[in-house]
Amino acid sequence: MYPLLLLLLLLLGGRSSESTAPVPYDNVGQNFTVVFPENIASYYPSPPTNMVKITALKDGTTVKLQQYGNPEHQDLDAGDVWNFTANATLELGKQNISSNTLTINSNKDITVQAISLKQDSLQTAVVIPTDKLSTTYLIPPIPTIPGTNNPQDLVVQTVTERGPFRIIIVNGVQEQNKVTVEGLKTQEVSLQSGQVAQIWLEEGAGYKNVTAEKPVAVLFGHPCAILGNCSCGLLYTILPPAPGRTLKYLVPPLLAKDAEGETRVLLAQNGSTSVKPYDSSSLMYDVAGTAILYRPGLLLPLIPTANFACCFVVTAFPTFTNNYAVIVVSSNVTDGVRVGKDRISSADWKKLGGTNYSSIQVTLSLGKTVIWHTSSKMAVYFQGNNGSTLIGNQAPVISSSPDFRGCVVTPEVVDLEEQPNGWRESFKNCADSDLELLCLSSTDLQKQIYGKLNQYSNAIQEVWIGMRRSSLNGQWYWVNGDSVNSTNWGDGKPGGVEEGQCTIMSLGNGTGFQWSDDDCCKDAHYICYKEPELFPI
């Protein structure tokens, strides 16, 4: 592959797990560690229902689970969902250090959603794979909840519903890990493989951040936040890793619908935190840190625009009255959003004032729904309610690679080869690598490939593509068998049979990637290609 183009394509499609990078909202991975926080909803002394929803991205996926050393496994194909109910005793209690974890390992990429249910209290969260965990997290400011954490309401840690918020730190590596929680006070904890620490966020401690020697996951919340009428519910979220730069966060009004006066935006930056009342006239926040939306019963990390993605999967809860997705996308590309195979009516989009974005709320039918974009990136949130019970989370991300054909789980391969060759040698070299000489048989594919090559320089002027003239009848054909329906010949091209038998494409700036017929023996660079693997819609 030509080195410069390889670098560009990696930047387009690559993912980073470094703590200084943007938050890795790509939730795809093969190894996960799940914990279930203490849930004393409605003070009800019954066992909880703790579950995980595991979605396979590819055929031939084998998922293995371990709880208390007892293995279970399931074979899945692309799009299959395994709903696994964990042992009720796996729920964390009040212990400072615990080994109550559920580990999930797979031979192929999956996404994992954790669910905690007790009576009417239901919380959901998308689990970050262990290879995308970080060593640095910012602790958000604690929202004031009457009856829960007003100073006059606090009692002692042993009275859970009157105790402080807490963080849960999960060791993400199979070795000892030293973790430091810093603020006005400092607390250190050493975690062994598979261990979890709980730390109460007492008011005088002023804790602001979590740093670890090796990657960890961090949860934030309260086991019994007051909801009114002398009832309470679990309130938890998984914190995103701390970003290393300023990011833009959008707060679509649909996420605050019916709770505008009670909604807050919790902002955490290095060394400082702030709580902002929701304001429909100011929907964008520039933050060198993280932003979490709070409304009664829900903590929802907001997705920065830098980490918008292309394909999401959401699953409705059959016991809930309303299940819906909230979609945020640039206003000029709303026509590219698909819910399953359906296009959304342009009349239903609402512009977000003061921004270049629009949002929409889509009602979900029961079962799995794939939401994707044909050419751009967006944010998708899942929300649901059943009376006063509210749930929500970022929708699990399947892909960050846009494609007009669907939801990509393995991106297309576009290899610009460095060594020039004749057309026939180029065709063979691609085939030897289990690829094909690039065939641009549709306008949609042409647009997508040209968009990637547009970021290339003038270092290479021309490349062979997979079209040539038949020696039998003189007709042009694609070597992969596709029909010749859409072409991009330059002016006066192609010429007569005597002028050239093979197709070469210009990469020079301002040429519009036009094609010409040329001598097949001419040495030129060439592009090898492989179609993407798609998630079933």
260/318 same-domain check: yes
Asked if residue 404 belongs to a domain, the reply is no
CA distance 118 to 151: 27
Highest mean pLDDT among 226-230, 257-261, 353-357: 353-357
Position 455 scores a pLDDT of 67
Work out the pLDDT band at 1, boundaries 50, 70, 90.
very low
Asked if residue 183 belongs to a domain, the reply is yes
326/471 same-domain check: no
Q: Is the pLDDT of residue 75 over 50?
A: yes
480/501 same-domain check: yes
53/93 same-domain check: yes
Position 149 scores a pLDDT of 66
Q: What is the mean pLDDT of the segment spanning 497-518? A: 88
Name the token pair of 33: 């560690």
> Who has greater pLDDT, 244 or 522?
522
Counting residues of the chain whose pLDDT is more than 90, the rounded percentage is 67
CA distance 128 to 112: 8
Q: Is the pLDDT of residue 454 over 80?
A: no
278/330 same-domain check: yes
Work out the pLDDT band at 8, boundaries 50, 70, 90.
very low
CA distance 487 to 508: 18
Q: What is the mean pLDDT of the segment spanning 190-218? A: 94
Asked if residue 92 belongs to a domain, the reply is yes
Q: What is the mean pLDDT of the segment spanning 272-287? A: 92
CA distance 356 to 329: 9
Residue numbers of the domain that contains 448: 412-535
Torsion angles phi and psi, residue 253, rounded to 5: -55, -25
How, if at all, do strands 196-200 and 209-228 pair? unpaired
Asked if residue 239 belongs to a domain, the reply is yes
164/271 same-domain check: yes
Work out the pLDDT band at 154, boundaries 50, 70, 90.
low
Work out the pLDDT band at 118, boundaries 50, 70, 90.
confident
Work out the pLDDT band at 497, boundaries 50, 70, 90.
confident
394/429 same-domain check: no
151/114 same-domain check: yes
Q: Is the pLDDT of residue 88 over 50?
A: yes
Task: State the chain's mean pLDDT as an integer.
Answer: 88
> Please, are residues 364 and 259 in contact by the beta-carbon 8 Å criterion?
no
Q: What is the mean pLDDT of the segment spanning 512-529? A: 94
C-alpha distances in angstroms, 72 versus 84, 104, 194?
A: 10, 10, 18
CA distance 413 to 420: 19
431/295 same-domain check: no
> Please, are residues 468 and 479 in contact by the beta-carbon 8 Å criterion?
yes
DSSP state at residue 239 = P
Q: Last residue of a domain, which of 350, 374, 399? A: 399
> Who has greater pLDDT, 164 or 382?
382
Distance of CA 132 to the CA centre of its chain: 11
Q: Is the pLDDT of residue 150 over 90?
A: no
Residue with tokens 């065939």: 439
> Who has greater pLDDT, 41 or 270?
270
Position 69 scores a pLDDT of 79
Asked if residue 13 belongs to a domain, the reply is yes
Q: What is the mean pLDDT of the segment spanning 221-227? A: 84
Highest mean pLDDT among 218-227, 289-298, 341-350: 289-298
Least confident among 55-64, 176-185, 491-500: 491-500
Position 111 scores a pLDDT of 95
204/124 same-domain check: yes
Would you call 398 helix, strand, or coil by DSSP?
strand
> Please, are residues 141 and 267 in contact by the beta-carbon 8 Å criterion?
yes
Asked if residue 39 belongs to a domain, the reply is yes
Position 158 scores a pLDDT of 55
Work out the pLDDT band at 10, boundaries 50, 70, 90.
very low
Q: Last residue of a domain, which of 399, 432, 464? A: 399
Position 208 scores a pLDDT of 94
Q: What is the mean pLDDT of the segment spanning 316-324? A: 85
Q: What is the mean pLDDT of the segment spanning 459-464? A: 87
> pLDDT digits over 362-396, tens only?
999 888 899 999 999 999 999 988 776 788 899 99
> pLDDT digits over 412-428, tens only?
999 999 899 999 999 99
CA distance 181 to 368: 39
CATH number at residue 416: 3.10.100.10
Position 122 scores a pLDDT of 82
Work out the pLDDT band at 22, boundaries 50, 70, 90.
very low
Q: What is the mean pLDDT of the segment spanning 211-226? A: 92
Torsion angles phi and psi, residue 55, rounded to 5: -110, 125
Asked if residue 498 belongs to a domain, the reply is yes
Asked if residue 147 belongs to a domain, the reply is yes
Kindly report the number of other CB atoms within 10 A of residue 330's CB atom: 17
DSSP E strand stretches across 153-278: 166-171, 177-182, 186-191, 196-200, 209-228, 231-238, 247-250, 264-269, 272-277
User: DSSP characters for 468-531?
Assistant: EE-TTT--EEETT--------B-TT-S--TTT-SEEEEE-STTSTT-EEEE-TTS-EEEEEEEP
For the chain, the domain total comes to 2
Q: What is the mean pLDDT of the segment spanning 27-52? A: 85
> Please, are residues 43 and 79 in contact by the beta-carbon 8 Å criterion?
no
Q: Last residue of a domain, which of 355, 370, 399? A: 399
> Please, are residues 412 and 532 in contact by the beta-carbon 8 Å criterion?
yes
Distance of CA 131 to the CA centre of its chain: 14
359/482 same-domain check: no
Q: Rounded to two decimals, what is the model's pTM?
A: 0.88
Torsion angles phi and psi, residue 151, rounded to 5: -50, -40
> Who has greater pLDDT, 433 or 69?
433
> pLDDT digits over 44-55, tens only?
667 788 999 999
430/358 same-domain check: no
Q: Is the pLDDT of residue 13 over 50?
A: no
CA distance 106 to 481: 37
